[in-house]
Amino acid sequence: MEIVSRAKESSIVLALDFPFHNPTTRDELLTKALSTLKLVSPYVCSVKINHHLTLPLGLFEGVQELVDQIHESGCLAIMDCKINDIGATNQVISEYYYSAGFDALIANPFIGWEEGLKPIFETAQRLDRGVILLNYMSHKGSPEGYGQTIIDSQTGEKIPQYVYFAKKTLEWRADGAVVGATYPEKISEIYSILNEEIPIYSPGVGAQGGSAELAVKAGSRFLIVGREIVQSHNPASAASKLKTEANAPKV
């Protein structure tokens, strides 16, 4: 990701998410996604796809076409599937997404390592792909799960759930950590744990109230932006503005 980011001089990850579309308008949705991608790709380094497109378009039909276009534009493709199942299922899920061309996928560390995340990491290593782990999401309910206090089974210490996840993200050598831009204080804390070894990806800029400037100052390396761009009357202009804000020197 760092190589692509430097080449494109951007740290913006486009979340190519659209509101619900009637299934009968599938071709219209694909056309809209391809058009938005073409407009915005000069200003972003990567594109994240969620169920917003995989459900109506199909993985090996419309979505794979989008992934091919993402790569042709010089960007990387991230699948935001938030994998959270048993290991055997996780391996099959990851195999399918990587086969469709995705460079990395997002997984949930709640499932643990043995018979959980381990098969995903093994598949990613075999195929030279990436795994990004959720540490603290961007929505208002995040503190109920990621912010709860737990007891570390290894040390007996009481720590926040997100601190435990950050430590595991470092231990398991993930390729990235997701921390919501709406919680810059959590970005800063997790950044200190990751020790600049693993980049932070921050969603929630714009529509959810997160600040690009504050997220970057707190330690975010990449900003994941969806509605602020895709629902703008001028997606290219919105993406260009965010790219400039993210590249502004930290003060």
The set of catalytic residues is 82
Q: Where are the beta strands (DSSP E) in 158-246?
A: 158-160, 176-179, 200-203, 222-225
Please, what's the largest Cα pairwise distance for the chain? 54
Phi and psi dihedrals of 101, rounded to 5? 105, 0
| Residue 63 CA from chain centroid, whole number | 17
Are the C-beta atoms of residues 200 and 179 closer than 8 Å to each other? yes
Question: What burial class does residue 39 get, using C-beta atoms within 10 Å of its C-beta: 0-12 exposed, 13-18 middle, 19+ buried?
Answer: middle
